[in-house]
A and B are shown apart, each in its own frame.
Chain A
Amino acid sequence: MDRVDLPGQSDDISLLKSAQAGNAEAFGALYERYAPAVFRYLAAHLSSGLDAEDLTTDVFLRAWQSLPNYHERGVPFLAFLLRIARNAVIDQYRRNRSGQSYPTDLEPTLEDEAPGPAESLVQQLERQEMAQVLARLNEDYRTVLVLRFINGLSPQETAQVMKRSAGAVRVLQHRALSALRRLLEL
């Protein structure tokens, strides 16, 4: 399966070392590399694209704050980010259940970030359609499908994010694809 947005680990290591020393620009380079993958994961879990954008930046802020305690030790940086993203999604669900709106420490969305009217409408409709299908799957099924087929992670990398064995990921993927196919028939 093709792998996108997953650059060489050696580059990551030097950027991570700089970022761990407090270099914001190095962390910005890591953001540029990995934000698309984190966004895709979040967008597949949230009905609003703007929520996914806010949460993507929040995931990176959380990662920055815990970066000094991050050690490679077999968990690649993308897996580390996606674990944070997974926890952020779970937090978001809890907040929504308790009726709270999602708080963000960041400034309001700047004008140059806002989508144009045409882009916004088409993208939102397509995304909502996909999100509606995925939303009917349980959380584990949705996560394994997004990580494997939207983000292109290998079973081993998916296992690192989900804290399961690669074998368990393959079995989960099989069940999730069956459930998705049944939904697509309706």
Chain B
Amino acid sequence: MDKQARKIASIIEASLPALESGQETLDSILARHSDLSEALRPQLEAALWLRRSRPQLEARPAYLQASRRRLVTELGRAPQAIPARQRWFDTSPRSLALEFVTLAMLIVTILAVGNNIRLASRLALPNEPLYPLKLALENLELAFNTDPAREASLYTEFSRRRTSEVVELVLIGKYEQVPATAARLDEHIQQAQANMDTLALSDPAQAARLETALQDNLANEAFILQVLLETSPAEAAPGLQQVLEIATRPLAGIGY
């Protein structure tokens, strides 16, 4: 139906000027489109009626001339709207206040959304969409830090996060992600120890406190991992043993 309607509309478009000028008749057009003549005839007749009624809708020339003069005079009293681009630079107090409130709301929204994403990323596990953001935020925290003591504390905290991730991964059966997390844990522990060695040259007491904190943390995590190893399926064992071996290495000196 729609296809035929479009075809008839195209025929009307093409043939109406010739019909109006007398070059063609209604019958000659219908003969050329005999397959559609039944549907085409009333359409052409109605279109022709509209075209012939057109003079009844013409404006009076006197009105057009006088109204043009009147409009041009009136325009001086009808200011144009300020374009959108100029409105941005509008310096009226009301406009500035509105823009300030809008900007403040935008900043608050961005901060709230950003904070929500940051908090959500903290819960992310390896191979999840927000996990790269979690690692990037950790690296950012390290990049903005210049204090070796603070850096050692950060690596201690990150190593705790990695062991927590291992526990979560084993609990949900994603054992294939454990080795990569174990490698990150190993790197964090080594970095923490390297910072403590540097710090020991200038502040041995502080370095000793940090080392105790790292060992306490790892001892707690190793205990949880050991319990998990004993209660998890056999396929989780290789990954867990690898993590346990990494986590307990710094504890050798304290008889773990």
Nearest CB of A to B256, in Å: 73
Could you tell me which residues of chain B, from 28 to 56, have a CB within 8 Å of some CB in chain A?
A: 42-43, 45-47, 49-51, 53-54, 56
CB atoms of B68 and A31 under 8 A apart: yes
CB atoms of A130 and B57 under 8 A apart: yes
Among B5, B42, B47, B59, chain A packs the most CB atoms within 10 A around the CB of: B59
CB atoms of A184 and B43 under 8 A apart: no
| Contact size range, B | 35 or more
Instruction: Verify if A118 is at the interface (C-beta below 8 Å from B).
Output: no
CB atoms of A27 and B60 under 8 A apart: no
Q: Point out the residue from B47, B62, B78 that lies within 8 Å of A149, measured CB to CB.
A: B47
CB atoms of A1 and B17 under 8 A apart: yes
Instruction: Verify if A2 is at the interface (C-beta below 8 Å from B).
Output: yes
CB atoms of B71 and A107 under 8 A apart: no
Among B20, B69, B75, B79, chain A packs the most CB atoms within 10 A around the CB of: B75
CB atoms of A35 and B72 under 8 A apart: no
CB atoms of A27 and B57 under 8 A apart: no
Nearest CB of A to B69, in Å: 8
Is the contact region of chain A dominated by helix, strand, or loop, or is it mixed? helix
CB atoms of A65 and B81 under 8 A apart: yes
Q: Point out the residue from B12, B50, B67 that lies within 8 Å of A180, measured CB to CB.
A: B50
Instruction: Verify if B94 is at the interface (C-beta below 8 Å from A).
Output: no
CB atoms of B64 and A178 under 8 A apart: no
Known: A68-B81, A167-B6, A178-B42. A44 touches B57 (CB 8 A): yes
Could you tell me which residues of chain B, from 58 to 102, have a CB within 8 Å of some CB in chain A?
A: 58-60, 62-64, 66-72, 74-76, 78-84, 86
Interface segment, one of A6-14, A56-64, A76-84, A87-95: A56-64
Chain B interface (Cβ < 8 Å from any Cβ of A): 2, 5-6, 8-10, 12-13, 16-17, 20, 42-43, 45-47, 49-51, 53-54, 56-60, 62-64, 66-72, 74-76, 78-84, 86
Q: Give 7 A-B contacts (CB < 8 Å), ordered by A residue.
A: A2-B20, A32-B68, A65-B78, A68-B82, A130-B57, A150-B50, A171-B6
Chain A interface (Cβ < 8 Å from any Cβ of B): 1-2, 20, 22, 24-25, 27-28, 31-32, 35-36, 39-40, 43-44, 52-53, 56-57, 60-61, 64-69, 105-107, 110, 112-113, 115, 119, 123, 126-127, 129-130, 145, 149-150, 154-155, 167, 170-171, 173-175, 177-178, 180-181, 184
